[in-house]
Amino acid sequence: MTNPPKRLAVIGDPVAHSLSPAMHNAALQALGLTAEYVAIRVALDELESFANRARNELSGFNVTVPHKNAIIPYLDSVSPEAEMSGSVNTVTVTPDGKLRGESTDGYGLRAALREAFNLERLSDAPLLFIGCGGAARAVAFDLAANGATRLMFANRTVSKAEALANALKKPYPDLSLEVMPINDIGALKAALAENPVLIQSTSVGLKPDDPSPVNVELLTPELRVFDMIYRDTALLKVAASVGCPNADGRGMLLWQGVKALEIWTQTQAPVEVMRQALNRARNGA
């Protein structure tokens, strides 16, 4: 490593609940680096001053909700996919103090799907998103760039799904795209009949008592169900009872962190150390 990182961070608001410090500090220690990774709560109106301080004080930082889009104007450069998706989760501070932004969320989701469902190629199944907010948008362009051939979006606000589909159509004209209202049972049934990988990307499920955002009576064992939320949601519970292969968002959190660390250190990340730290932190150990 030519330039080992010194100080790393995750910013968000709130951010105290973040599992990233546990995961990254375990990895840094395993790599024998003295760098530390801290959580910093940054309010929206503090983003610019934070970004300016980061140029001198940090080697890199992760960005979590609600700042993945708002950070972009304060960066010096942004990768093409992050630019299109309007989402940055990983910022590298270059030796001359420039801020370079990219997103590792799409990579994280791809690696998690591969691990959970043996999904080697994204073209092997349609991907049906339940939800079309920032989380879906953050990964959609990466999926399209990495072999996805059919993306479907079911959302409460259909115009948001249409806007994303239109944005994807320009750089990826061969991509097969479909949008539907989340409560349109007929359209959902038709989509589910294609045996897609279902990707839950709404915020419904973050609270323990949240219901499933999609009608669970439609689930069949042929579906693979991935929930971006990293807890056992109502959707995942039904998926398990129906017999669907299913996974929560921990895999995505892990692999987006692996990629971020590899960007900062230019070294292979200790994946299993990070996975164990993540599981320990999630279980409150």
Taking CB under 6 A as the binding criterion, the range among 28-36, 54-62, 197-205, 227-235 that sits at the site for ligand ATR is 197-205
Kindly state the smallest distance separating residue 129's Cβ from ligand ATR, in Å: 8
Catalytic residue chosen out of the listed positions 68, 98, 160, 170: 68
Give the separation between CA 153 and CA 164, rounded to whole angstroms: 9
Nearest-approach distance from CB 49 to ligand ATR, in angstroms: 23
Task: Among 18, 59, 87, 202, indicate the residue that binds ligand ATR (CB under 6 A).
Answer: 202
250-265 helix and 271-282 helix, angle to the nearest 10 degrees: 130
Sheet holding 36-41, edge to edge: 36-41, 7-12, 60-63, 90-93, 99-102, 77-78
Per CB under 6 A, 131 contacts ligand ATR: yes
The answer to whether 64 touches 12, Cβ cutoff 8 Å, is yes
149 lies in the site for ligand ATR, by CB under 6 A: no
Minimum CB distance to ligand ATR, residue 233 (Å): 13
Q: Omega into 14 within 30° of 0, i.e. cis? A: yes
Give start and end residues of each alpha helix (H) in 72-231.
Answer: 80-85, 105-117, 134-145, 158-169, 185-192
Report which secondary-structure segment, H or E, holds 237: helix 234-242
Question: Is residue 126 near ligand ATR by the rule CB under 6 A?
Answer: no
Q: Tell me if 85 contacts ligand ATR by CB under 6 A.
A: no
Q: Is 249 in the site for ligand ATR (CB under 6 A)?
A: no
What is the nearest approach in angstroms of ligand ATR to the Cβ of residue 40?
Answer: 21
Please confirm, yes or no, whether 68 is among the known catalytic residues: yes
Binding residues for ligand ATR, rule: CB under 6 A, are 131-135, 155-157, 160, 182, 202-204, 213
